[in-house]
Structures are given as C-alpha cells and as structure tokens.
Structure 1
C-alpha cells in the first residue's frame, strides 16, 4: 500500500536525467502556430535534494545539425536558471511547414550534467493566413428554410480527389477542417484515430483544423483522398430546448463543408499542394440523417464501394461547389483530440418482449454502440439509449432527452420525445460491423430492435468516447465507498470532456461556466487539463459580449439565465472565466495565459462594476441545486468580490502595480458592503446562516481570517442540525471541503463525505450510480445521472486525504499535509505536476503513522507529519536530525513540519 521506492532510480547512481519533454504541453506536436513556443522538461535523479542549476537548449531546423549537437536556429548557451517549465523559444523566426528539432542539457546541484536529452521536435503549420491554400467546399445543396424539413433525410456528402504524386515522396501532410465533423481517408484508409473532429468553437471567431502525417498512406503515382462530412455543431437541428431556445439563433451555422490542403514534399526538395476547390468531386453518402442530439441513421445500401480509393466509379459524381464557410480564424487544434478511449462490454441482455432487447453495459458513459450483425438487405436495426430502466425492465430514456423536449414542445418537426437513437439499414452482405461516426450519447442501457434473430452479448459493445486526457492523479484508500466514488467521478469527467467541458453527455452537452468553476481543481488532479483548458479560455474570450459580459455557456448557444445583461450569464457562471485562468496558472505555472487574456479580464471586471448597485448584486442563480434557500443576492455579491480579488492577483503577477492597487481597493469596497448588509457579528451568521451562506463567506474570506471562529461555529451548528448531511448546491459543496481542510476540520469533512443515506454520494452509489448525479435526489424523469458538478469532492481526496497542495505556481513548491480522519487506515496516491510525480501514501498501524512521500527533482516541499500516534519521528529508520537535507522546522497544531528537497522519503511517527 505504501508508495513504492524506486521510481526515481532511472537516472542511475548520480546526476540528473531528463524525462518528459514537451512543447506547448504536447510531446512532439505536429502543426503549431505559436511563434515563441514554450519548451518544458521533467527530471529524474537517484540522489535526494537535486535542483537544476543551469540548462542549455539547442534548436535546429534540420536533423543533421541537431545530431551533431548544433543549434542552427537557437542556442541558449549555458543559462544559470532552475527554470524547466515554459522556457520560451527565442531564436530565429520560425518558418511555416517546418520541423524543428531540439535537445536540452541540464546541470545538477553539484554542477554536473549527464549530457544532452533525447531528440525532440515540433512542427509548424501555417504561421500566416496567406499560408493557407484551399477553399471551403461542399456539395452545393441548399439549406432548409422550414424548421420541419431539418428532420427529413438529408444524406451527408462524400468528397474525393485523385492526386498524382509524380516523384518519390519524402513527407506528406493533410491540413483539414470539416464542419461540423469529418473523417478523412487516403487510399481507402482512415487518417488518424481521432473522432468528432474538429473541436467545437464559436465558428464566427475561431475554426479549428487538424494536421495529420499522411506519409505512410501516400505513394508515388496515383492516390485518392476522401472526406466524409457530418452536421455536428455547425448544422444542428432547430430543436427548442425547454420549449423555447433554438441554438441555431445563436450559433453560426451552415451546410457541412470542408477546407483542406495536402502538402507533399518530395525527396528532391520540391513541394506540391493539393487544396480543396471545385475540382474535387462529391456525391451523397450512406449517412442519411445525423444530429449531435438525436443520433445518426445509416443506410448501408447507399454505400459507395471504393469511393475513397483510385478504384472509385465516379460516373455519378459531380464537381464540388465553393461555399462561403464560417468567418472564424483557422487555428490548429491544440487540445487533446477525442478518441475512443475504452471498449465497454455489456453485462446482460434481456428480451423484455418479442424483438425488444435491453442491454445493460454495467456503466454509465458517453459514446456510441458498435455492433456486428448479419441479415437481409433492408433490415433496420435501431438502438435507443438511456441512463435507466423501468421496473418492468424497459428502457427509460427520460433523463437524457435532448433539451427536456418531452411533450411535443421541441418546435415544428421535432419528435414528441427527443430521445437518443441510432439506426442502421443492412446491405445484406455477410457480417456487417457499424458504429455511428458523427454523434455521441450518454447512456448505460440500450434498447435494440429490428435485430435479425436474437443478439448476444458478443454482438454489441460500447465505444466510450472522450478527449484523450492523460491521467495525472491516482487515489485509493481503505474506504471502499470513496474508491468507488473516485471511479464514478472519473467516468463522469470523461463523459463530459469532449471539446468542451459539458454539463451532461445526453440532455444538453453544453459548456456551462458554473459547472466548470465547481470542478476545475478536481478535473486537474485527475487529468492533465492544460491543453484542454487553454482551449476553453479561448472559448470564453471568443464569446465575450460587446460590453464585456461572459456568457453562461461557451460556445454561446443563447442561454442567459439571471445575468446582469449583455447576454451574460449568472455571476457564478461568469466566474468560471477568471477562475480557470487562475487555476491554469496555479497548477501549470502558465503566466502567458494571464498576459494573453488580461485585456479581456479588465473588460469583464469593468462590465461587472458598471452593473452593480451599491457595490452589490441581486440577480444570480445562487447555489444551484441547493436543498436550502439559494441566497441569491449574497452569493452573487460574493462572486463579484471573487472577481475583484482575482483581478488584484493577476495584476500583481504581471507587475501592473496601479491596477493591483485599484483592484485591491475594489475588493475591499465590495467586502465591506457585503459584511455591512449580510453579516451578524453576534451570531457569526451571514444572512440566514445556512450551510451555503457560511461556506461562501469562509471560502472567500469575506470575514477576515482572525475573526472567523464564530462563522465556523455557526457552520458546524448547521451541519449538526442536519446530522452531518449536506444541503448545499454545486458551489457550496465545491467550497465546503476546502473550508474544512483549511480550518482543520477534516473529521467533519469525513463524516459528511462518508454519509450513506440521502443526501450524499454514498446514497447515489447505494442506488446503483456508476457516475455522479446532477441532483442529490434520484430522478427517473428529468435530472441527468452523469453530471460532473458534484464531482468536486474529488479535490478533497487529493488536497486533504493525500495532502498534496501547491505552494507556488506549477507545484514548484508544495505542501504535503495528509489529514487522516474517521476510520481510514490508509490512503495512497499521486499527482503528476509539471515538474514530475508527487506521491503521498500513509498507513496507520500499531499506533504508528507511516508516511511515504515522493518529491520531484527541481522542487521543494514542506511535509507535515501527523503526531497523533507519537512524536518520535524517523526517516528511513534514522532520527530526523541525522538525515541530510531534511530539516524539522517546527511543531504546529499536531504536526511536525519538515522541509525537504526532491527524493523519496519514509517517515514514521511513533511513541
């Protein structure tokens, strides 16, 4: 159970070894447009207390020179610095369509170096708009004028081009953006393993393109390129969400189209470019209907044999048509792509009535079904998706119905109930395998009808789709419910990480800022979110409104609940924008993001200032999904205060001293207004003294730290009244565990988190939850069973139970302070920071507390060892005073506080 010793021994007996080397958070990125890309590396060493004292970087635009350790475009020389994260390129100007190779040499604490790192590279794409060749093209079909017509069959276009490569090919790249979604092929083979490309953005501002290395697919002579298009978010149905909102009114939309170019470099050094234009050919494909919400319908009888190869029969194809396309800037897709990240097998199948089969996948997730079927041509197999089933075993679709469209309120042509459904019409040629390409669903159960005969468990499986996020955290403990909850949180998070962080994968699929705010840290502890979240920040600024307001969702789809105007969202949802920037800086040390967005941040705070009355707000959604009164005016005003506090912090980081002073004064003004209006100093209560109001006040430090005891006492009393159960909504729950961690009330936190009855996470699990619900109560008709908001508790596992906390941007300095509580006997886990793996593992045995800690090279840690089980502390069997580089600084609040550098440590506290 304890942290295994040895993960740092890869460096050999002495010195440093470079480990993970990245450029703009990616390993060997193909296709970037950053003019000064940032290079980072982690380090390993078998020696404790190792720091990088200097580095050398070399960058070359050719392989020959870099192999000779020669930097032709940048050579830093030896730089005395410990910086190993975000070292910005500062060499000769980068050229488009060029691969740059780089290495780094680092020097250890004693000045020694183990030599140059392994070879790394990054490749530029278009660095100027003029580098793009190609037109937006489509099939020339006209957009429907009547809403009801959008629900009719509308076959998606196929496009193709024959390419003659007259010379030997050295390399070939495909640069492509197909809206709403696309799949690309070269010589009959799909290019790459992404799905649902490109990521969703506000197409009037930004359109993402992807870059693929198609060298292995190309050959000298004739080649064929093929592209299949889908509607995605560019051509959504005119569904009236909640009976009113039609996202087509807010989104830039159009018929599916594509802009692409194939760039071939030959062995003789020459290049040729094949752009999309009217010389491409098009015809209709077998996808006869597709919707991001309602599903996809495929008629295999309409498939075109060999359509994406040089063997295609193109007699009935026509020339493509140049179309206007979206106006947004084309930018490379830098966030992790969406992939099939797991295959999920069903655990049971039941025929509930003749020809109706219910598959239980055993797990709620996001994705689609894939099946293998054999039957006569024209047979239609339908798959409906749902999160639950009724007592009679039939499928319950109601918690995942698009936009809560259930009573014929979805607008002209919309289905009476907007459930999720895919269908496949067989072509009748042996065993046929199929899965939908341009949609995804949230589900655990599937209803299959139309199957020839009876399907078995081996005939169908689930393809879990998500952004391909790398796991950054691990957690386990002696509490099985916590372990199950952590698994549920991870499935929930991945179900809602596509190209936006969504609220749910079935009903809405939208990027709400409030949901984001609540779960940012929990997401970050579990997964590497740097590239994904940088994209979300750009979404916020793209949709910032003219006066500065931040919209409720990004991309903006027309929802503007309880905001102060300018189509902006509630204060608690607008706060997602600055908070995300702050947390990317805290977790990843990304100062550039603050610099890039400072003007948008100042525009935003000015809008908020202009919208207040007496420095307070009165409209908001409050503590969404709270079981108590949502205390809207107070929570709204505290969100405003948090905005001002963050602006003060951002100005300080950028050394804008006048702004720093101004925002500090603004925050103080807001704080005084809140305290004067809502705080009763006698009782320690804010407003009515609910769990939510007390937690908001404590988390935001509205009442200064030295006078918070009454506020905490009132909070404790509220929980005691409810027998240590939550009544908070998404915001209060997110803030609660941080409040209890900082106030040394982790025993209380444990009691709350460990509840097994309503309301609590244990209640969800006891009622069969495999993901986190939208509400504390079970729902069989309205509320989603796959909603990240209450997954914020995952942050507590890392911050409190493992005790892993940052004390400097990017975890350059850290505090390891585990807070054992309740009947926990052990907890173990890790977090991979920009500097490397941080580990914390503890066990309570025989009146001893054993703590193993792993600290990455080039960082330092303050380690807090609990003294509850004894004040005699050893490290690796030695007295602390006898261990070199480990310093017992003090004893404080039942802990021994120890300063240490990098390495693996084993502490024991005993009597």
Structure 2
C-alpha cells in the first residue's frame, strides 16, 4: 500500500476514522432538464475544487470520497492513486461505495487545494439501446455526475479541520467534451474557459447507503506495444495492430505540429479485405438521433475516441473514463496517412481490470495448454471491473456466467471480497417477492424469467452458488449467516410456484454447439428438459447449503417434498425407455446427472456411460453449453474419463478452443461456431463464458483441488504426451506447489510441497504404483513429498495425509 492508494490492503478495507456523515452531494449547476435526445451533445465534464488553509504542521489527513459515475481525485495537483474507473459499480439506490485515502504527504502548511474530476460512468448512462432493445438508463439508478467527500485533518497541535463537500466548492469545466463506457471519449487540449455563471449546488444524490469500499480497485495492468503499424488505404488512415485482443486503454503522444481532429476507431478483428470489422464489438445502437454529429438512433455503436487538438504542444492522450475491447486501432484525420504516422509517438495500450491477486501458476511442456490457460485467465480478467461482466460488448453481470465460471475464478485469483460484493449486488436487486434478477445490477433482462424482474432459473442459481463458495472456499460462514434471510426469501419464492409453471422458466444449456436458431433467437438443445432439471438443481443447491445453517424444519420439509415432486415429474415427462432423457443430447445427459435423475447407482452408471458414448459418437466434441461444459469437467473426471477432457482441450479441428487462439488472440470467443443458414454466429471475441476448463487444469493436470468439505485432494492426471507439469495454488490453508515429469515411457516423478499442518489426500488412481518415496522438510514448516511412480495394473492404496 502506498500513501496514494485507497486505505485497503489486499482489497480489505482498513478501520476508518473518517466518515461522510456531515457532507452533502454536490455538482455543477447546468441545465437540470436536459433530455435524452441531448445526451450525445458535447459539453465539458465537471471539475469541483476546494481551496483551504492549514495553519500548523499536519499529523493526519484522511479523505472519504465518492464521485459518481467515475471520479479522479487530485491534491495540490497530484493525482491520488493508480486506480481508474472509480467508483465500484452497484445499484446506487441501495448501496454507494466510497473510498478513503491518506493524503497527509500531499498536503502542506498553508494553502491547499482539492480537485475532483467527474465523469459519467454507469451513473449517467447513455440512452443507447443494447442488444437492440435494452436502454439501461431506464433501469439503473441514474443522475447527474456528483460528488460527496469529507476531509478530516489533525494537526501536530491536536487541532482538527473538517472540509466537507458543500456549495462553497468551486465548479469549472474539464477537457472531456463527451465520455461514455460503450462509445468512448471526446477530448480537447484547449484550456477550458470558465463560465462565471457556473456554480456548485447541493443535490439529493443517490439514495443508497454510503458504505466503505472493500474490494480491490481497477488498475492498469499489462502494457502492450504495437505489433504492426500499416497504412490502411481502404479506411484512409493508420492501422495499429497490437497482436492480441486487449480490454483496456489506448495511449499515444500527438506531435506539437498537429492541429485539428484525430479519431481512433477500435475493433477486435479484420474483414477478409483488410478493413475493420466491428461485428464482434458492437453493443447496440445509439438510441437517439443527434443531427449535429450525423448520428441516427438506429446507427450501430462503434467504439471510438476523438481528440480535438488546438495547442502547439505535445499532447498526451490516454483513456481515463472508458475502456475498449480491441486488437486494432484505426487512426484517422484529414492528413495523408504517411504524414499522420509521423505525428504519433509513444503508442501503447494497457489491459485494465480489477486488481485481483493471483493465487495460482501453471506451466506445461505443451505450448498449446499454456496458451489455453493464459487465454482463460486473460478473458476472465478482461471482464472484471468491480463486478463480473460477460464481455466488453454487453458489460452485464449475468448470474449464469458466474455460475459457470466460479470454480475457474477461484483457482485463478483471490476472489473473497469480490464474491461478497457481487453477492450483495444480487441482494440489492432481489425482487420484493424474493426473485433474483438475470443480472446485477439489474438492467431489464429477464428472458424466460420466473416473474417480474426475476431471471431465468440457471441465472438465479448464482445466489446459492455464490453463498456456498464463499462458505466453502473462504470458510466465511459468518457472511452467509448474515445474509441467510435473503437466501431463505429466495427459496420461499422458488417454492411458491407450481412445478408445471416453473419448469419452463430457463434458457437451458446456453451456448451449446447444438443450439439452433428459431425466429431470430438462439434455442438451446433440449431446452424444456434442461429447464425442468435446472429447477431441481437449484433446489438441491439450497438443500446442501442450508444443511449447515439453522433453517426452519417446515421449510426444509417443504424443500424435500418439492425436490421429490420435481424429480418424479421430470422423470415421468422426459425419461425414455432406454434410460436417456429428452432427445439424448450431451446437454440433456449431463443435466440429468447433475439433477440426480436416477433411482440407484446402476441407473447413475448407465447415464454416465451414455454421456461417454455420446461424446465418443460426436468425435470427442464437447457440445455442451456454459453450464454443461463447466459440470462436464468434474463429472467426467470423477468417473475416470480425463482422457476425454484432455483430448477435447487438445482438439485441433473445429469446433475447438485452439482455433479461437489461432490468429494470435489471447482471448476466448463467446460461442463455438453456431450456424444460421450460410452465416456463422460468433458473438464477442473477448467473452469468458467457456473458460471453465482451467479449473480442471488445476485439479487434474497440476493435481490440486479444494473439495466441498474444505479438504485438499492431490489427484493428478498424467497425460501421456506431456513430459512436464508445474503449478501452484494458494489456498486458505497455505500454498501448495506440485509438479511432475516423465522419467521414461513407464515412470515419472511427482513432487508436492505444502504446509506441514495441512490435511491432504493423495489419489493416484489405478495406473501407477509407488516404487520410491521421499519426504523432506522444505523450511518454514513446509514438507516436500517426492514420489517415483511406475505404471502398473493393480490398485495402490494410499492413506489420508500419509505416503
């Protein structure tokens, strides 16, 4: 932690001695009755400033601050912190998160100045139409960009100064003439001319409870330099190729000699003729008409920034209040391209996301596996900006995507505080009846939802799943207990529906290769059966979660009866004579297994065999959607079918993962190819919903897994064409390091280093026997266990925590 960062350590808020109790929400006085049709008009953003004197040496200075939608704090001209896109996104009508900074080192005896720059963010969302129909401005808590802050100073003599946000602050215009998360920024280097009529006024502000932020901040991460810069005559500009897709900021210097306007256009891919393709990154349409800028309501949104340069000085442009998803940047102006190229320098980009601490490492002898690991991790992080987004095209916090990816998140980064924050986002938007929305914050989507404002069943599954992982993985039972009433309310809501109604209320195994398109909409395979099964899966999740909590016996009895009813009804409606379900797709089979639609072990084994046979019949292709894909890695591994998983991840023919990375992109696509006549639906090229495989890579290739009872299992899968695997996982019990290497065709060395006190369980299966073992002290109360393994056909029994 540095003096300029918010007062958090590893994302955890520190005890505060300053609050916002006496401060007021303030903003610059502009026309308060601007209409949505005027949103795209250029107007300078808001800067609010406060000058004050301190008569003694400063002992302590803490400022609590929230600027909505986004803010940047400056103290005596110094930018505070390395974070961007402040504040934390949530439902501002329920909760408003604020930050606290220690600014003592930036203040001085005598005259001082606070300056806060505001931008629109999500609080002043544009009236654009996402996915052709959702105007998020009509659903989110929205308002004019505003500030609330309180600075508390203690001098060496013990005197206290309190500087609160109020109408005595000064207002002035900023250099951002326009800013929007989906579109981009319009910036000028001209000194803003202050309007003497501008003043600061108090306003009501959002109604949410002011709450200290407790999650890590959004920061610039990895730097990227251009891979190729070419003249693009088709577009009449300079084309910058960064070699891979980035979710983040673009930066460059513009020569002092240039005066005029430069436009930067952002895209993830090129068309076959070398022109930019915006198909994968277009989020929707503008929604309003702006004749001044030649924009019609139905025009597609293309991510772009515009710089209006008027001063003969080098101008440093860098994104501040938006982020783009791009590999290519097209630079356009009225100059010849060769001249324009000479005017740009220091071109670079940064990935930008919530600064989550890494908890794992993975490396193998296969470059392809290494790229798959990195791509999954990159794509997930690209879509985390204080909440889990699906992709940078939509930027919505879908519960279904969180369910599919939660284990891969846990095996990649420290998610404790973020999971709690996201859980509370869903609490904030829980409907009065108890339903959980499709997204949090709620943006109006409730496709196949159960009732007004509530989402489809697979997306409502996020509520108990988040609670279960917070409790299981981070041993935070107190948090779950604190929110038990919201969980009970949700279950009561689900139990209020007759099965014959609620069994339709889901999208099934979304994103499956087997999906079809009907009436311009994607339809999942066996959607009706999978939806009925999802209800059962949801209820089973609550049964397991509540088993460790004090919940009324009547509720649990009702839950048991409903589970039995739903299971019997689903079997009666969808089970075939041969024991398969619905049309027997991969999705229906794994949903049947996940929903425990079998009466005994024999029927379970029969279903498992059908799943394996179906995959083999489909040439080893995993045709699941996001739920089935995530579950398949566990289900198949548990029955000893890791070969199937490994072959799928290594598959070189489409549909496959490696094709997504073939052109150098280090991100995953939204879909495996879905055909619509002669066209292929591909969606976003920076979408994480199929990155769930990295959990299997940690649990089986590295061999480290955290089980539901919080124990550690070491159960590696030794792929025959790999010569080496190295990895580590930081758990609540300490860091575990594991590696294995081939010694010859029939022998290998497996080594694990872990805390001496850790409770663990080796599971080496039936393929190898131990021919030598060595246990040494690694220092710091850690042990290293080295096993030399020889292939054999018999079973080697290994006791718990003892080799």
Q: Secondary structure at the match of 2:659?
A: helix
Among candidates 336, 341, 363, match of residue 221 of structure 2: 341
1:182-581 equivalences under 5 Å are: 182-303=71-192, 316=196, 318-353=198-233, 356-376=237-257, 378-403=259-284, 413-414=296-297, 416-450=299-333, 453-455=339-341, 458-505=345-392, 507-581=393-467
- Partners of 2:800 and 2:375 in 1: CA distance: 36
**Residues of 1 paired with 2:448 and 2:477: CA distance?**
32
Secondary structure in structure 1 of the residue aligned to 2:658? helix
Q: C-alpha offsets along residues 324-359 of structure 1, whole Å, 9 cap, x if unaligned? A: 110001111111100111211111111112850111
Cα distance in 2 between the residues matched to 1:168 and 1:848? 70
1:814 to 690, 712, 716: 712
* CA drift at 1:774: 0.2
Normalised to the residue count of structure 2, the TM-score between the two structures is 0.90
Give structure 1 stretches of 5+ with no counterpart: 1-24, 33-121, 305-313, 879-883, 902-906
Q: Is the 8 A contact 2:93 2:208 kept in 1?
A: yes
C-alpha contact (below 8 Å) 1:147/1:412 kept by paired residues: no
Which of 637, 655, 664 is the aligned partner of 1:741?
A: 637
Whether the aligned pair in 2 keeps the contact of 1:806 and 1:815 (CA below 8 Å) is yes
Asked if the contact 2:123–2:141 (Cα under 8 Å) also holds between the matched residues in 1, the reply is yes
> Quick check: 2:125–2:180 contact (8 Å CA) kept in 1?
yes
Q: Is the 8 A contact 2:46 2:118 kept in 1?
A: yes
Q: Name the SS for the 1:492 alignment partner.
A: helix
Tell me if 1:600 matches 2:486: yes
Contact in 2 for aligned 1:147/1:413 (Cα 8 Å) = no
Q: Which residue of 1 aligns with 2:692?
A: 792
Q: CA deviation at 1:318?
A: 4.0
Quick one: distance in 2 between partners of 1:815 and 1:739? Answer: 16
- Name the residue aligned to 2:753: 854
- Tell me the secondary structure at the aligned position of residue 280 of structure 2: helix
1:612–1:125 Cα change, 3 Å:
farther
Asked if 2 retains the 8 angstrom alpha-carbon contact of 1:389 and 1:396, the reply is yes
Contact conserved, 1:496 with 1:502, CA < 8 A, in 2?
A: yes
Provide closer, same or farther for how the CA distance between residues 703 and 234 of structure 1 changes in structure 2, counting only shifts above 3 A: same
Shift of 1:415: 6.5
Corresponding residue for residue 803 of structure 1: 703
Q: Is the 8 A contact 1:472 1:527 kept in 2?
A: yes
1:694 equivalent in alignment to 2:589:
yes
Distance (whole Å) between structure 1 residues aligned to residue 288 and residue 26 of structure 2: 39
Residue aligning to 1:46: none
Is the deviation greater in 223-232 or in 593-602?
593-602
How far is the alpha carbon of 1:895 from its aligned partner?
Answer: 4.7
Change (3 A) 1:615 1:396: closer
Deviation at 1:564, TM superposition (A): 1.2
* Secondary structure of 1:476 counterpart: strand
- 1:418-459, CA deviations, whole angstroms, 9 ceiling, x for partnerless residues? 110011122424222121211111111111112872337853
Provide the residue aligned with 2:763 in structure 1.
Answer: 864
SS at 1:302 equivalent: coil
**Number of residue pairs aligned between Structure 1 and Structure 2:** 765
Deviates more, 1:218-227 or 1:833-842: 833-842
Contact 1:148–1:414 (CA<8 Å) still a contact in 2? no
Partner SS, residue 587 of structure 2? helix
How far is 1:277 from its partner? 0.3
| Residue of structure 2 in register with 1:837 after alignment | 735
RMSD, aligned α-carbons? 2.9
- The reply on whether 1:650 has 2:545 as its aligned counterpart is yes
1:795 is displaced (CA, Å) by 1.0
1:754 equivalent among 650, 654, 668: 650
Q: 2:9 maps to what in 1?
A: 27
Q: Indicate conservation of the 8 Å contact 1:365/1:495, yes or no.
A: yes
1:408–1:29 Cα change, 3 Å: closer
1:125, distance to aligned residue in structure 2 (A): 4.8
Matches within 5 A, 1:12-161: 27=9, 32=13, 122-125=14-17, 132-143=21-32, 145-161=34-50
**SS at the partner of 1:498?**
coil
Q: Secondary structure at the match of 2:9?
A: coil
Aligned to 1:82: none
What is the SS of the residue equivalent to 2:667? coil
Q: Tell me, yes or no, if the aligned pair for 1:751 and 1:822 is still in contact at 8 Å.
A: no
Q: Counterpart of 1:771?
A: 667
| Change in CA separation of 1:855 and 1:535 when aligned onto 2, cut-off 3 Å | same
How far did residue 396 of structure 1 move?
1.5
Distance 1:885 1:138 in 2: 60
Query: Could you say what secondary structure the match of 1:620 adopts?
Result: coil
TM-score, normalised with respect to structure 1: 0.80
Does structure 2 conserve the Cα–Cα contact (< 8 Å) formed by 1:206 and 1:329? yes
- 1:616–1:674: 8 Å Cα contact kept in structure 2? no
Does 1:663 pair with 2:559? Answer: yes
Deviation at 1:395, TM superposition (A): 1.8
Q: CA deviation at 1:279?
A: 0.3
- Secondary structure (helix, strand or coil) at the match of 2:547 reads helix
Q: Conserved in 1, the CA contact under 8 Å of 2:288 and 2:296?
A: no
Confirm or deny: 8 A CA contact 1:471 1:527 kept in the other structure: yes
Displacement after TM superposition at 1:143 (Å) = 4.1
More displaced, 815-824 or 670-679? Answer: 670-679
